[in-house]
Amino acid sequence: MTDFVLVHGAWQGAWCWKRVLPGLWAAGHRAFAVTLTGVGERAHLLSPAITLDTHIADVSAVIEAEELRDAVLVGHSYAGMVITGVAARLAEANRLRHLVYLDAVVPLPGESWSSGHSVETRAARRQSIAEHGALLPTDPGMFGLDGADHAWVTRHQTAQPGGVYDAPLHFDPLRVARWPRSFIDCTAPALATIALMRQRVRSEPGWNIVEIATGHDAMISAPQALLDALLAWA
């Protein structure tokens, strides 16, 4: 039995994993989908006070409260920032087994979520934060979703706390490198804001890379392929 901790990306919540969780449970594993403060069913807590540290604490609290050991920690998109922070701050090395970056941000020390974005993207998102106090949801069509999936995600997305966008993450990369790291590259269509990360993991040693021919929200558009990849690391 393996413990899995699944951390969603921006604008989403634990709901986005509903097509993956049953397969993990059926295979005999424990799996916990975390909803970060201020989004999903915790959208009522949206506040300018929410920071990247808040979200790192959210995930760390689940690992501590559930007394997890040798867990596979999965972060989607923005949550690559979060799981990197969690991994860097865990005092006990036996808490984790594997870090999985699902089409996710792979930060260097001192970088923020915004660091890998184009000048145009940064300007647009900062304007949204200035006007609304948060990042308004993006069109799920950018993630290759259409039809019923597009409608489902549109209904469930909530604003993303603005305080996490430019927050730098300071960490010791050697602490994060204690565990094996994998990157799941969603290639069809490939999301432009993840382009730098795709290059980064292919230029740094030690990365295991898996490609899935689907859009950015693989847990929705290709749940079985994603489940197969996760089970290989159980």
Write the CATH number for 161.
Answer: 3.40.50.1820
| Domain, as residue range, for 189 | 3-231
Strands, E assignment, 122-216:
134-135, 160-161, 181-186, 207-212
3-class secondary structure, 43: helix
Phi, psi of 207 (to 5 degrees): -90, 135
Q: Strand 160-161 vs strand 134-135: parallel, antiparallel, or unpaired?
A: antiparallel
Query: What is each CA distance from 187 to 38, 117, 140, 167, in whole angstroms?
Result: 29, 18, 16, 28
* Alpha-carbon gap, residue 175 to 205, rounded angstroms: 15
How would you write the pLDDT of the chain (234 residues) with one tens digit per residue? 999 999 999 999 999 999 999 999 999 999 999 999 999 999 999 999 999 999 999 999 999 999 999 999 999 999 999 999 999 999 787 999 999 999 999 999 999 999 999 999 999 999 999 999 999 999 999 999 999 999 999 999 999 999 999 999 999 999 999 999 999 999 999 999 999 999 999 999 999 999 999 999 999 999 999 999 999 999
Q: What is the pLDDT of residue 93?
A: 78
Give residues with Cβ within 8 angstroms of 126, minimum separation 6.
114, 165, 166
223: cis peptide before it, omega within 30°?
A: no
| Residue 137: per-residue pLDDT | 95
Q: How far apart are CA 229 and CA 218, in angstroms?
A: 11
Q: What's the confidence (pLDDT) of residue 62?
A: 97
| Among 92, 162, 101, 163, CA closest to 134 | 162
Q: Which residue has the tokens 């929705």?
A: 220
Place of tokens 């397969």: 23
Query: Are residues 74 and 98 in contact, defined by beta-carbon separation less than 8 angstroms?
Result: no
Note if 77 is an active site residue: yes
Domain count, the chain: 1
The answer, as to whether pTM is greater than 0.85, is yes
The residue annotated as part of the active site, out of 47, 60, 77, 203, is 77
DSSP label at 18?
A: T
Element (H, E) at 97: strand 96-102
How far is residue 13's CA from residue 86's CA, in Å, rounded to a whole number?
A: 18
